[in-house]
Amino acid sequence: MSVRNFITARTKILCVIGHPIKHSMSPIMHNAAIQDLGLDYLYIGFDVPSNKLKEAIKGLKTLNIQGINVTLPHKEKAIKFIDKVDEIAQKIGAINTIKNEDGFLIGRNTDAEGAKKALLDAGCEITGKNVVLIGAGGAAKAISYSLASDTNKTTIINRSEDRAKKLVRELKSKMDLNIEFKKYSEIILKEEIINADILINATPVGMFSTIDISPVSKKALHRDLFVFDLIYNPLETQLIKDSKEIGCQTLSGLDMLVNQGALAFEWWTNRKPNLELMKLRIIEYLGMK
């Protein structure tokens, strides 16, 4: 038996922080990759309420946690509490990954690249297309940044007008983009979807207590849509189920999760993980629930 099968005082710790965190599949996929490569690491989850975020990040630095994933609702606020943010993450205004280099915390955003790769791998044509994006949080920021320069038009629809307008202003100030905001209503959403090629849900609607709810009325969908729901637990949200019934091409958030996780993993460890293994372990786990 290899000594790497044991957790010792030398084992390096990786983690994910968010609130709530018990739904996260990151420990499943990262520990699978760690075991596959025989690395002396362990990946765990920490539930960190928003009012404890600064203290938590300071504690993770003090404890010499090697790598940190950042999930809802901390992707934007976490920027304030780390030492350096890379150029792409600065433009996006959100991070999802932190690397601890001898007590110096560096933030990146691997969501943007992970989402774009997931869409392209699924056969979704992005160039020149019209995108409707529901939501204006950290994940929406990353998606907007990664896609908007290739698309014909991106429309961000959100209940909070101030939040979405701020996102559009930030993106336009950093890049020459055809991007606009519309305040959420069922009528507005339906009107925008009529001329859309790609529909993306970047809200939590469809998970937790809203598992039987879709952010989009089934009547608003049309079969020429490519529907991308960033939620991965459950694998089939109500939006995905409705879209399949209409005849849309669909994509869950699982591939984005694995892609962004693999980029973070390689950054932390300097080793390329097996993406298919990471994805398989999550599917196996969800199938047992």
Rounded to whole angstroms, how far apart are CA atoms 107 and 41?
20
User: Long-range contacts made by residues 25-31, C-beta under 8 angstroms, separation at least 24?
Assistant: 25/232, 25/233, 25/257, 25/282, 25/285, 25/286, 26/69, 26/71, 26/257, 26/261, 28/281, 28/282, 28/285, 29/257, 29/258, 29/261, 29/278, 29/279, 29/281, 29/282, 30/261, 30/265, 30/278
Output the CA torsion 256→260→265→268 (10° steps).
Answer: -170
Rounded to whole angstroms, how far apart are CA atoms 272 and 289?
29
Active-site choice (75, 99, 116, 117): 75
Classify burial at 223, counting beta carbons within 10 Å of its beta carbon; exposed 0-12, middle 13-18, buried 19 or more: exposed
Rounded to whole angstroms, how far apart are CA atoms 217 and 86?
38
Q: Is 75 annotated as catalytic?
A: yes
**260: how many CB neighbours lie within 10 A of its CB?**
27
Contact 154, 145 (CB under 8 A): no
Rounded to whole angstroms, how far apart are CA atoms 261 and 96?
10
Give the active site residues: 75
